[in-house]
Amino acid sequence: MSDQIVWILLFPLIGAVLCSLSGVISKKVCYPISVLSMLASVWASVNTLMQAIESPVHEVSYILGGWSLDLFPRGVGIEFRADILGGLITLVVTGVGLLVTLYSKVPVQRQTPGKEAMYYALFLLQIAGLAGIALTGDAFNLYVLIEVAALTGYGLIALGSNRAAAATFNYIILGTIGASLYLLGVGYLYLKTGTLNMVGIREMIEANALYDSPAMQVAFVLLLLGILIKMAFFPFHAWLPNAYCHAPTTTSCLLAPLVTKVMIYVMIRMILTVFGVEFSFESTWWAEILPWLVVVAIVCAAVMALAQREIKRMLAYLIVAEVGYMVGGVWIYNYYGLIGSIFHVISDACMTLCLFLGAGIILEKCKTTHFDGLRGLFAKMPLTMAGFFIGGFSIIGLPPTCGFFSKWYLITGGMVSERWEYMITLMFSTMVMVVLFFRLIERIHLAVDESGKNLGKGHGDLGLSQDQTRFDEAPLSMLLPLLLAASIVIAVGVYNQEVVDQIEVFLRAYDLPTGVDYK
């Protein structure tokens, strides 16, 4: 059953085709088709991950079209390769995809009436593209899948509010620049090595001692730049806040947790699998500069998040800050930092999902996500708020949510590499997150407006009518995914050990400094 790895992609692809066809007949079937295909896809990715964990080499490989690898050193066919890292990320992608699909029933009908068929087709293609990025073992195929994800993403965002078109245009320009840089980098690699398979490239580099070649340096810088733009690393983040704010609810719920995180994965993949640890970190000048760029990125993004008065926009800047965390975790260059980064990719996907699902419900019920319209929500939607703030506490890094554990490993990493600036930045941004989320709690919970004027008549009177504070929860199809996501945030925290064990199995194959002289 080693071909389950392709089914991860095939299920959503087939679902997308079915959706666009059946849309002609009845729009009602799109939702069940999408849910079913995502369920199947999650099932396939769980199986693939289990196979990868159980296999002696810790990976599952599948050659599309049956091209033999013997023809040319890993050259001709496209290989899908799920090692533990790829398997984990794929599971995250499909899992988030499934939850958002479940969630999509009400908002898609409300926000894009009449276009459900098209919406779901794009939506499933997007998931297929993202999952494919995590699975493919081919550098050029990776580009294709990045473009699949990007193009469908443009479509999904453009379906949003009036200003979505402008935001999409912005995104298209930056996204295309990023993808082109990536493609150029792959071109250089192909020129020097004659293969596109990631492991093949690595083998050729080592066999021909290409590390000193300037072309390799250029290739690496181009790839890295392209990836950094795609992951919205500050100062290349300009496309992200508008795109996520003006997109339809479901779109931002799907893109926000996944797109940036998957690009972090691509960066880790390029460093570990294609270029090698030594070349990426030790023989180059950028390894010294990047950690400082990370400091700037996190601080700026955190401060900009502070300035926002609207939940979705604030969350968008939070994502930019979190991207800084993960890039930093990779570039402080040690074992713990990488564990932290990889674990943070997983946990950040879960908690961002939580937050965006919550924000989506708030938007659905209150018609606004501006801070001024939130008072009394604890009474009105206690469950939604619980789910939302579990995500928030995880972003702050309070135990036992998963955010605490990723932060723990990142701090440990900073300590081991003696990157104090990175550690202090983490502390700083943690405090900013505390301010962000408790300010939100204040705005919801207290009968005080921003300037500190008392509203209402005291004794918990919020100055609202009875209608505004009566228990009025979101529909179950929206609430349930949120609560599931919140429990996943806690579960990943509680069972962090199991996840980290697998990450360690993956990382042990690479020669990373642990910094501690173990006795």
Residues in touch with other proteins (CB under 8 A) = 336, 393, 396-400, 408, 411-412, 415-416, 423, 427, 430-431, 434, 438, 441-442, 445-448, 452-454, 458-462, 494, 496-497, 500-501, 516-519
Chain mean position to CA 179 = 17
Do the beta carbons of residue 199 and residue 137 sit within 8 Å? yes
Amino acid identity at 376: G
Specify the residue, 27 or 443, whose C-beta has the smaller distance to other proteins.
443
Q: State which residue, 310 or 504, has the beta carbon closest to other proteins.
A: 504
CB 402 within 8 A of CB 347: yes
Beta-carbon count within 10 A of 135 CB: 27
CB 518 → other proteins: shortest distance, Å?
Answer: 4
> Smallest gap, in angstroms, from Cβ of residue 85 to other proteins?
19
Q: Are 352 and 311 in contact (CB under 8 A)?
A: no
Report whether 411 contacts 423 (CB < 8 A): yes
Nearer to other proteins, 441 or 480 (CB): 441
List of residues 6+ apart from 158 with CB closer than 8 A: 164, 165, 168
Q: Nearest approach, Cβ of 427 to other proteins (angstroms)?
A: 5
Q: Report the nearest approach of other proteins to the CB of residue 335 (Å).
A: 10
Q: Which is nearer to other proteins, 99 or 462 (CB)?
A: 462
Cβ distance 248 to 360 under 8 Å? no
Of residues 72 and 428, the one with the C-beta less far from other proteins = 428
Q: How far is the CB of 82 from other proteins (least distance, A)?
A: 25
Q: Does residue 35 sit in helix, strand or coil?
A: helix
| Inter-residue contact 319 to 256 (CB < 8 Å) | yes
In the bound complex, what is the minimum distance in angstroms from residue 483's beta carbon to other proteins? 16
159/444 with CB nearer other proteins: 444
Residue type, 164: A
Phi, psi dihedral angles at 81 (to 5 degrees): -135, 115
Closer Cβ to other proteins, 235 or 382, answer by number: 382
Q: CB of 111: closest distance to other proteins in angstroms?
A: 34
DSSP helix, strand, coil percent of the chain (3-state; round to 5): 75, 5, 20
Looking up tokens 């699998």, which residue turns up? 273
426-430's contacts with Cβ under 8 Å and 24+ in sequence apart are 426/298, 426/325, 428/298, 428/299, 428/302, 429/298, 429/299, 429/302, 429/321, 429/324, 429/325, 430/396, 430/397
Token duo for residue 500: 């980290």
DSSP state letters, 210-225:
GGG-HHHHHHHHHHHH
Q: How far is the CB of 441 from other proteins (least distance, A)?
A: 8
State the nearest-atom distance from the C-beta of 437 to other proteins, in Å.
10
How buried is residue 226: exposed, middle or buried, by Cβ count under 10 Å (0-12/13-18/19+)? Answer: buried
Please tell me the distance from the alpha carbon of residue 274 to that of residue 350, in angstroms, as a whole number: 28
Looking at beta carbons only, is 18 or 507 nearer to other proteins? Answer: 507
Least Cβ distance, residue 479 to other proteins (angstroms): 18
Q: Which is nearer to other proteins, 467 or 498 (CB)?
A: 498
* Helices and strands per DSSP (H, E), number in the chain: 22, 2
Whole-number Å distance between alpha carbons of 300 and 322: 12
**Residue with Cβ nearer other proteins (175 or 397):** 397
- Residue number, 54 or 517, with CB nearest to other proteins: 517
- Closest distance between other proteins and the C-beta of residue 501, in Å? 7
**Which residue, 354, 361, 345, 435, is CA-closest to 391?**
354
Select 481 or 493, whichever has its Cβ closest to other proteins: 493
| Residue 241 Rama label (left phi>0; alpha psi -120 to 50; beta) | alpha
CB of 408 to other proteins, least distance (A): 7
